Each structure stands twice: as C-alpha cells, then as structure tokens.
Chains A and B, each alone.
Chain A
C-alpha cells in the first residue's frame, strides 16, 4: 500500500494555506521575505526549508471553457513527488533516504551526512541541502502525522481540496474521473502528470501526481523526467571497457619501454 497526493491544479486558488500549514507543522524556518515580481509567487522554489510551493502563472492565453479574454491565471501547489523510482533515494550513499511503510520517500536526519548527491539526483529539483549544517531536507509526506493516523498538514489545510491525500490507487481513480469531468465541461487541456509508469516511464510513476492545464514546463516541471540511475549500468560498462583499455595500455607501455631501451643499450 502506498499513500500519496493528487494535486488538482484546476481547483487551486493560490491561497498558500498549504505552504503555511507545512511550515507550521514541520516548524520550518522562514526563507526571508522577498518580492520577486513573479506574479504572486514570492517563494520561488522547493528547497530545504520549503516543502510546499505554490506557483503562479499569468498566461496571455485563454483557458478553454472560460470567457475572460486572452488571459488565464494558473496556480499549482508543488511538492516532492515521492517517485516510485526516486533519484534521491537511489543515489544516497549512506542509506539515509528510505521508503517508508506508507510508500513515501523519507530522509532520516540522523543518518544524512550532507554529501549532496541526492540534490543532483532528483530530476525535479526538490530536495536541497540546508546551508546551516549541510544536511538534505524535503517533504516527509508528514511521516510523523501518518504514523498517528492523520493526514498531512497541507492536505488538511487546503480549502478547495486541490490537494487530496489518500491511497495512490484510489487517488488515480478520482483523478481520472476528474479529468473526464473537466473535459466534459470544455476544459479540454486538463491532463494528468506522472500518474503511472506508462505516462512517466522515467520515474515509474509518482506517488504525488498532478492534474495540469498546460505543458509541464510552464509549471517548472520536467516534461520527461528520468531517474538518473536508469542509465547507470550502461555508464558502468563504459567505465569497465575504458579500464580494460588503460590496463592494456599500461602493460604495452611498460613492455615497449623496457624493450626499446634494451635494444638501444
């Protein structure tokens, strides 16, 4: 059994209640107060101290089924995807990152030594090293709350149920119904992002998947993410062949060096 999120961005009103609830429950420090000029987004990016991030997209393009002229305002609450094949987890050399009994990807703060390899391994740019002592942090899918049978704080706080928490298989059913309904209402651009291994083979599907209304790039999501370990064995084979070559070269050089001097002397 795996629990996850279905984030339905067509319902998001950009209230940032999820960001606040996450900060409060997890006692995350603030990131400083900045004005970016990027619509209503002053958070910018997921990171060590930001585990939910609402993005705001102002498009000079109409959304189907709306008559607001050539404009639409998209909002989406981004979060760690708790990938079925997680780049951070597979890269972690210390085993600090584990798959929990709830199917989520969790960083154990008492094991992490801050090597930073997970940061480079996440194809979504989620996990980050905190600059204070260099350990890596990200969304825990509220591991502590789930252990007590509670829902994650963000899902609990979301006033529009844009963030739905539950069993992934159940969420998939809900999500598919929702896409169908939106299509019937004329919002034909609605589609699911990362709901299973078929639609996103590179990660074998996301436990926290999304309903989006434009290309993934618009939300700063990769169009075809791939867990970096997928190419690992080919890379190792290449290293092995190159190593054989260097071995041969070393022996040839030594033999020739030894012989040529013998002849000349």
Chain B
C-alpha cells in the first residue's frame, strides 16, 4: 500500500486513479479536474458565521443558495441590448419602407445596415458566451418550440439573413430591388421576434425574479428595444420627416418602457425577497439608474426643437437607459437566484395565492 501512494500522488488529477491500473472511461472522465474546484471564499465566509448554530424560526439550509445562479457572462445582457436595437430598428425601417420609401429613404437604408451589423454582433456575443463555441451550430440541430433559446437561434438566423440581404441586394442589379424590399419586411417582422423572445428566455427559468415576471418581461424588452432603436437613430443625420418619426417612436417607447419597469418592480415587490435586488446593490443601482435616464431622455424629447446636439443628447440618454435596464435585470436575477429565501418565499406565496383563488 505505502509504495503505491507516491504513484497516486504523482497523478494528482483529483481522481486518484493510477493510469497503470485503471483507464479513464467513466461518464465524467472528460472533465478537467483542477478547473472544477469550489469557490473557497464562500466556504471561509460561511465558516465565520458558525452556520450550524442557525436559529430555527424560518430555517433554510444554512442560507446556502438553492439554485445555481445563471452562468452567463456580460455578453448576454449586451446581446439583449444590441438585439433590441437591431430588431426594433428593422421594424421601423420596414414601416418607413412601406409608407414613405422616397421621403424616408435614408432611414430605410440605415435601418437595414443597423440590422445587419447588429445581427452579426448578436451572434458573436452569443457565441462568445458558449462553453464550446465551435459547437454553436448545434443550436440549429433541432427545432424545438418549447425551448426559447432554440426558437431564438432560429429567429436570429432568419433575421440576420434577411437583414443582410436587404442591406446588400440594392447594390446588385435593379432586378434585386423588390427582393431587397421583401427581405426588409421579413427582417422587420423577425426583428420583433428577436427583441421580444429574450424576455421569454429570461422568464422561462427557475430564477425567481425572472420567472415571476413572465408576463411583463417580453413587453418590457420590446419597449426598451423601441426606445433603444429610436435613440440609436438619433445619432444619424436624418431629414425632418425621419427625425419626427424617430422621435415620436422613441418617446412612446420610453413611456411604455418606464411603465413596464414600474409594473415589473411592483409585481416583484409583492414578495419582498424577490424584489429586493431591484432596490439594493449594484443591480438596484443599474435598475434605478435606467429609470432616471429614461425619464431624462423622455423629457428632453418633449422639449421643442430637432437640433442635432439635442437629438444626440436624447440618443445618449436613451441608449444608456436601455443598456442599464438590460444589465440591471440580468444582475438582479442573478442575485435573486443566489438568495434561497427568494425562491422559497415566492413558491410559498404562489401556493397561498392559488389557494385563495380556489376558495374565491
């Protein structure tokens, strides 16, 4: 026995398997051992609390998280923002193309380019988050209506193709023009899918804050996409008609965005622990910052005048608001997943809610 020990230590891959005696054929043999260590800080922290001596009034498991928090990185909320701009922007472009193709020609063309570049950036941001990026095409292996991420992959693929064709085809022979216009409309319709499905994507998780907001998040994301797309177009030099359309589009978007933000917060706040990350910490800072920026940008749009500096200022405020909103709800969801009481209290509350409905 003792002479075997050095051999085992030499193969210190955390499995204690001597390669001369055993083969690595198990289900998990492909995992790289040293990378899977737990977070030591968490342990040090909990040990400092003498966790076994918790009070027993409303027990949890040492307040250790019940869920794994979402493992996505910054590129996912960034994608929510970019996808929102590209998707809703394509819809505005499609409307302009159908209503006033001549008068709003530059808006139409710009919206197609924004959609094409935004679609490509969206794919890049999504692939960046994957554990195995080279397998991104596996997303299109199946067509699965139940999985919003699968639906989203199809929507994004269709949207990018249509937007790309709509942007590039006009450079080809005249014959291609009608085809480009069809693609522009298709991109507009799919663009709304792109901006809206991300709300479904978030709500279809076990994360208490996101799951509780299943009805509001799609609306919030589309409204925020509307505000963000309009804000982005404010950066371009547009003629008066275009600027007026963009401003009105954005103003309504901002108002609905603000209303949906407040509605989501009120609904989440009905279970204190669930709503808490929207009020506290970094996520609360982003979330409340988004509200302030939205209000500021909306007030600015209400002031008369369409001068360039004013439009750019509106654009900066509106874009920052939408970006803060996406990152805010992302980090707030993560925080609510780390809090076991958020899940517990939410589920107890919904049991009570449905029980009272049964009685009524």
* Interface set of A (CB-CB < 8 Å, partner B): 23, 25-32, 34-39, 44-45, 47-49, 51, 55, 57-61, 87, 90-96, 109, 111-117, 119-125, 127-137, 140, 143-144, 214-215, 217-226, 228-229, 231-232, 234-236, 238-243, 245-247, 249-258, 260-262
CB-contacts of B186-217 with A (<8 A): 188, 192-193, 196-197, 199-201, 203-207, 211, 214-217
A-B contact pairs, 11 of them (CB 8 A): A39-B52, A111-B141, A112-B131, A119-B70, A119-B71, A135-B132, A231-B211, A238-B219, A246-B222, A249-B249, A254-B92
User: Taking A26-B27, A258-B100 as contacts, is the C-beta distance between A58 and B245 under 8 angstroms?
Assistant: no
**A37 and B46 in contact (CB under 8 A), knowing A29-B13, A116-B70?**
yes
Contact at A137–B344, with CB atoms within 8 Å?
no
Give Cα A234 to B66, complex, Å: 26
Shortest distance from the beta carbon of A178 to any chain B beta carbon, whole Å = 24
Which residues in B have their C-beta under 8 angstroms from that of A34? 38, 40, 43
The yes or no answer to B142 lying at the interface (CB within 8 A) is yes
Complex Cα distance A246/B188, Å? 11
Closest residue on chain A to residue B134 by CB atoms: A113
Q: Which residues of B contact A (CB under 8 A)?
A: 13-15, 17, 24-38, 40, 43, 46-47, 49-52, 56, 58-62, 64-68, 70-72, 88, 91-92, 94-96, 98-100, 103-104, 129-133, 135-136, 138-139, 141-142, 144, 146-150, 152-153, 188, 192-193, 196-197, 199-201, 203-207, 211, 214-219, 222-223, 225-226, 240-246, 248-249, 252-253, 256, 337, 340, 343-344, 347-348, 350-351
Q: Are A132 and B31 in contact (CB under 8 A)?
A: yes
Identify which of B32, B60, B248 contacts A220 (C-beta below 8 A): B60
Residues B30 and A222 in contact, CB atoms below 8 Å apart: no
Task: List the B side residues contacting A122 at CB < 8 Å.
Answer: 67-68, 206
Give Cα A45–Cα B246 distance, bound, in whole angstroms: 51
Chain A residues within an 8 Å CB radius of B94: 250
* Extra inter-chain contacts (19) besides given A25-B26, A29-B36, A129-B71, CB under 8 Å: A27-B24, A30-B15, A32-B40, A35-B47, A45-B68, A94-B135, A119-B70, A121-B206, A125-B66, A125-B206, A131-B35, A134-B131, A222-B344, A229-B204, A242-B222, A245-B256, A251-B98, A255-B99, A261-B240
Does the CB pair B141–A260 fall under 8 Å? no
Q: A246–B270 Cα gap in the complex (Å)?
A: 29
Nearest Cβ distance between residue B43 and chain A, in whole angstroms? 5
Please give me the residue from chain A that is nearest to B354 by CB atom: A224
Q: Let me know if B206 and A250 touch, CB within 8 A.
A: no
Is the Cβ of A257 less than 8 Å from the Cβ of B248? Answer: yes
Contact at B61–A232, with CB atoms within 8 Å?
no
- CB contacts (< 8 Å) of A239 on chain B: these are 193, 196-197, 199-200, 218-219, 222
Quick check: B131 and A123 within 8 Å, CB to CB? Answer: no
A55 to B340, CA, bound (A): 16
Q: How far is the CA of A222 from the CA of B339 in the complex (A)?
A: 12
When distances are taken between beta carbons in the complex, the residues of chain B under 8 Å from A229 are 146, 204
* Chain B residue contacts of A28, Cβ below 8 A: 15, 26, 28, 31
Contact of B61 among A47, A90, A137, A217 (CB under 8 A): A217
Whether A133 pairs with B132 at a CB distance below 8 angstroms is: yes
Q: Are A254 and B33 in contact (CB under 8 A)?
A: no
